Amino acid sequence: MEQRPFIIYKSSAGSGKTYTLTLEYLKLALQSPHAFKQILAVTFTNKATQEMKERILKDLTRLSREIIPSEFLDQELMKFLNMDEQGLQHAARETLLDILHGYGYFAVSTIDSFFQRVIRSFAKEMDLQAKFELELDQAAVLDRLVDRVVEQVSSDQNLKKWLTEYAEERIEEGKSWDIRSALKGLGSEIFKENFKGFQPIFEATIAHDGFLADFRKVIVGKKEELIDEALDIKNKAHEIRVRYGLEWTDFSGAGGTNNFAIRLDRLGNEKNPITSPTESQLLKIEGVETWYTKTSKLKNEIESAADAGLRDLLKSLPGMLTQWNTLMALSRNLNAFGVFRNLIHELRELKDEESILMISDVNDFLKGIVAGNEAPFIYEKIGNQYRNFLIDEFQDTSEFQWSSFKPLLVNSLGTMNTNLLVGDVKQSIYRWRGGRLELLLHEVQEQISDKYQNIKNLSINFRSLPNVVSFNNSLFSSLPELMQEAISSEFKVDSLNLLSDAFKGVSQDVPKKKLEVDFQGKIHVEFTQKAAKNSFDTSEEEEEDEEGDQNSVLDKLVPIVKELQDRGYEPRDIAFLVRKNQQGADIADKLMSYAQENPDSGYRFDVLSEESLFLSKSAAVKAVIALLNYLGNPADLVPLKTFWFYYALIHELEYSHELFEKNSLPIELLTKQKYLVEHLNRWLQLPLMEQVEEIIKFLDVYERKVDLAYVSGVKEAAFDFVKKNRADLQGFLDWWELNQFKRTVKIPEDHNAMRILTIHKSKGLQYKAVIVPYLDWKIVANGPMAPIIWSEYAISDSLKTVLPLTHQSSLLDSEFVGIYGDEVRLAYLDTLNMLYVAFTRAEEVLYGFADFSQTSKGVINLKQSGNILYTLFAQGFSLPTHPSKYYWDEEKLVFDWGEWPVSTLAKELVKATAIDLKWDSVDWRQKLKTREYAWDFSESGIQAREHRRLGVLIHEILEQAQSLEMAIEMLQSFVFDGRIDKETQQTISTQLIELFELPQFKYWYADDLQAMSEQGILLPGGKQKRPDRILVGENQAMVIDFKTGEKASKHELQVKEYMELVQRLTDLPTQGFLCYLEPTEIFEIK
């Protein structure tokens, strides 16, 4: 039999993908003791990586101890490796020991980890700093980029013009004038592959000064031409109407929307200057009888007017509307896009300044590396030669990632080595992260030679009970066709059979032993009718549709939880799946509120979800942050009163008027207040981490397990901040304001509580009972919540570029109909995949709830997922036992299939318990003894510390500033950032002016010298030296080091070392200077 080394496993939910991957890995690894070093297995999450490693090591450990001939895995391995039981056991033992002794070569990792490893190996070739940092927080970087761009408004007139016009545009549209959020929305595109693919065109056009202004000028001109043409048509129509003595209300449809003739009179309207008859109306105007009513007395006049030109004028409108929609689509993001190049420029500057590489750049860099080098050279650089590649979750692979892996796979296949792809197109729900399901669907098979391919299907569902499997088989065999009909009927777009192709072969089999169990599974899907909306879009800026009356759904959840627990299900067996975080928060609030109101109900309503465990929701965390704010500005009493409020809440103290009055406190808090006053000055001098620790200690939550878990999360957040930033209190508070909703309490996986998670995060997981309360959402989103569409466009022969388009239905009647049609098809497939992922998480029981709506005539809008599901259930679909209508209650709008087992587990009466999370928090002073340092709290001591603080700030300014003007601007930014007050600003400003009046100082900041601030000098072994300021002229170089505090001989030695390094690098005579700032003294170092 001909060997085909490229195995493509097309899996389905619950089909044993991890088991299959482990088996295939072992087939390769057990061929020789060192074979595992030549295998690279990649997946997409750390959790999946850990699971796969554990599975491989667990199976190897078991095989090294005993072989079980009846086990399928053992049989397959002996057959493939041509070994007997003894040989397989020996090979497993040898491989296991080899992995444990060379664990660094055990290459099972995330795809990002592997790519980062390659990038670091090619740092020199890619012109990266030797010690670059990988930046994962793109949102934080984008915040900084937008701030940096806005700060340039005073010096960049073009930028000022773009931002001013953009703010005015938003005000005219009734939105906030603050453009930062909108800039961040569009600006986030600079990190995405969709934009990176067009970046060369962007660089060649829009990145140049004046291009976008010229582009906009042409658009405005074409709009004006269209409006003039529309007004001309309106005048001609008016002249014809008057000539025959008619009013627009004389035509069919009176003054309503059916009066297509009146559209001629609406041309040139300020808001919608171009309008057009609908497609059905255009068909009607050919026949004159549709122009008037049967009882009209003006039939002859209307027919004459139609023939005299009204009909032809109406026919010209659709083409004009297409042009208008095209121009509107191009101009909608033009002002925001005007600052796009500034964001990209600032990103480059930031990456150079801080030696960072964005996580979003990794795929781009790697694509360039692989394209320019042969595979053997890449292996040489990363220090390993891989013969076999195993790629998991391939449906989520991006175009750039595949472009990086493809050459390595092709090289491996050229020597007939086994390579493996595993994926499920039906579970591709990460398109917004760059995942391209088309790769697995057909593109890879088209790009790799047929002679290598061995396509296998995993078609047995080992996860779910028979009824659940059969239900999903039937549902997802029928849904693709219905959704394709919806694409055609609702959007007039050809579905291209995309959904049917993706779900071809969706049906799964069930293991025989599961067919014999008593309980076959239960499915309950319930619909609620809501009021129908208009069939047309009322607002292009609509973020999301309303998702039904949530309260009615929430009220049904408690009885379901009770019934499940009555039937023996533990809380950990139950999961709620949602699309939005807020929905998860609503569910958590509902269940926890019920538990608090009914503590003796005998049921457990413990829930775990990221949304319910946000640090920012905790009163203890709010208290910590409030007191940190008070430390940042002790003159502001509002944060202090906020702290006392949350302290009283945590310790269940009675609220009284004194708690809220400015200068008083309840008597039970006076002792705590006295302690705070006594220790305030000491706390103000502590580093950030110790300030947090002292506040937690002061808060008295060490014995409160739940609160301690939350405040420990704050400590971890502060630690994460300090690792990457200056340990500055105000800086941390600003950072917390932006990041508080991203931080959650980390919880143990085995805690016995119900899970609430998004459908995206549920992928790869399974639960005995799954409840999906909100199955109704808008399929094709409009406005800010919709994805940005990038498209090339030529407005004229000389003005061709790429522009961002906002997702909106008017694109269907524009020159962008093709690219919008692609988005519509993929949006419907996204919804179909989301439903598939949600429904296939269930092992035994599945509950679903959806709203739907229909008009009084029974017309259902198929743009909502709930409406599509209702349509299918109302029509019926095939099930193994009976047609689905057999289990459908037309009156109650409920589908219910499956019988509970007769005997159920006896339920013990349990008392609801609080989540008991263990977090250790110990004051380091209890563990370590340090040399005591006595703070000088005398007036002179406080003054000395203040002088040193000012010296540090001046030092920071002089490091970075290139002139007195820049130094004063930096000082102003310190005030804006809250680092100093106005009085301190005046003090430092005076000192800076005095410094720059010194002749020596003026020379250091002269324009004819090349200046480098905090420039790292790389030493052998990877260490660096960073002089404050290096100056290079034609005939000499200089090193300046600024110091605060007392003089010391080591300062002189340090400058001498700098002088020697700079002289060696520049090959110029080098002078050195020490500049002490408090008081100002300058010394030349010989």
CA 525 to chain centre: 31
- Is 475 a member of any domain? yes
Structure tokens at 184: 């961040």
Asked if 370 and 502 sit in the same domain, the reply is no
In this prediction, residues 504-515 reach a mean pLDDT of: 93
In this prediction, residues 958-968 reach a mean pLDDT of: 84
- Is 629 a member of any domain? yes
User: Which range is most confident: 228-242, 529-543, 980-994?
Assistant: 228-242
Structure tokens at 1051: 């300062």
Asked if 39 and 111 sit in the same domain, the reply is yes
Confidence of residue 912 (pLDDT cuts 50, 70, 90): very low
Residue whose pair of structure tokens reads 């009885």 in the numeric block: 559
Dihedral sign of CA atoms 617, 620, 621, 623 in order? positive
Q: What was the pLDDT predicted at 539?
A: 43
Asked if 635 and 732 sit in the same domain, the reply is yes
- Is 120 a member of any domain? yes
Q: What was the pLDDT predicted at 52?
A: 93
- Is 913 a member of any domain? no
Sheet strands side by side (includes 6-10): 108-110, 39-43, 388-391, 419-423, 6-10, 453-457
Peptide bond into 1079 cis (omega under 30): yes
14 belongs to an annotated ligand binding site: yes
Domain boundary among 396, 425, 457: 457
Q: What was the pLDDT predicted at 507?
A: 95
Higher-confidence residue: 357 or 306? 306
Distance CA 836, CA 602 (A): 34
- With 50 as the cut, is the pLDDT of residue 543 above it? no
Distance CA 437, CA 672 (A): 60
> Residue 12 in contact with residue 461, Cβ under 8 Å?
yes
pLDDT tens for residues 1044-1066?
A: 777 888 889 889 988 988 888 88
Asked if 194 and 342 sit in the same domain, the reply is yes
- Is 984 a member of any domain? yes
11 belongs to an annotated ligand binding site: yes
In this prediction, residues 224-229 reach a mean pLDDT of: 94
pLDDT tens for residues 330-351?
A: 988 887 777 888 888 888 888 8
Asked if 91 and 155 sit in the same domain, the reply is no
Asked if 1075 and 944 sit in the same domain, the reply is yes
1013 belongs to an annotated ligand binding site: no
197 belongs to an annotated ligand binding site: no
pLDDT tens for residues 376-390?
A: 666 666 656 789 999
Question: Are β-strands 39-43 and 1080-1085 bridged in parallel, bridged antiparallel, or unpaired?
Answer: unpaired
Asked if 43 and 161 sit in the same domain, the reply is no
Q: Give bridge partners of residue 1010 from the DSSP assignment.
A: 1032
Q: What was the pLDDT predicted at 542?
A: 40
What stretches of 547-618 show up as alpha helix (H) in DSSP?
550-566, 581-597
- Is 292 a member of any domain? yes
464 belongs to an annotated ligand binding site: no
Distance CA 832, CA 379 (A): 41
Q: Give bridge partners of residue 109 from the DSSP assignment.
A: 42
Confidence of residue 540 (pLDDT cuts 50, 70, 90): very low
Neighbouring residues of 810: CB distance < 8 A, sequence distance ≥ 6? 325, 328, 329, 540
- With 90 as the cut, is the pLDDT of residue 158 above it? no
- With 70 as the cut, is the pLDDT of residue 752 above it? yes
Asked if 388 and 496 sit in the same domain, the reply is no
Domain boundary among 404, 429, 457: 457
Asked if 326 and 343 sit in the same domain, the reply is no
- Is 11 a member of any domain? yes
Torsion of CA 922, 928, 931, 932, to 10 degrees: 30
In this prediction, residues 987-1011 reach a mean pLDDT of: 85
800 belongs to an annotated ligand binding site: no
Asked if 347 and 448 sit in the same domain, the reply is no
pLDDT tens for residues 165-201?
A: 888 877 877 777 777 888 888 888 888 888 888 888 8
Domains of the chain: total: 6
pLDDT tens for residues 102-146?
A: 998 999 999 888 887 877 777 666 666 556 677 777 888 888 898
CATH number, domain of 127, equals 3.40.50.300
The structure's pTM equals 0.79
360 belongs to an annotated ligand binding site: no
Domain boundary among 715, 742, 769: 742
Asked if 21 and 120 sit in the same domain, the reply is yes
| Least confident among 421-425, 467-471, 785-789, 841-845 | 785-789
Residue whose pair of structure tokens reads 């942050």 in the numeric block: 625
- Is 149 a member of any domain? yes
- With 90 as the cut, is the pLDDT of residue 289 above it? no
Asked if 1078 and 956 sit in the same domain, the reply is yes
- With 60 as the cut, is the pLDDT of residue 85 above it? yes
Structural domain range at position 511: 470-548+868-886
876 belongs to an annotated ligand binding site: no
Q: What was the pLDDT predicted at 713?
A: 87
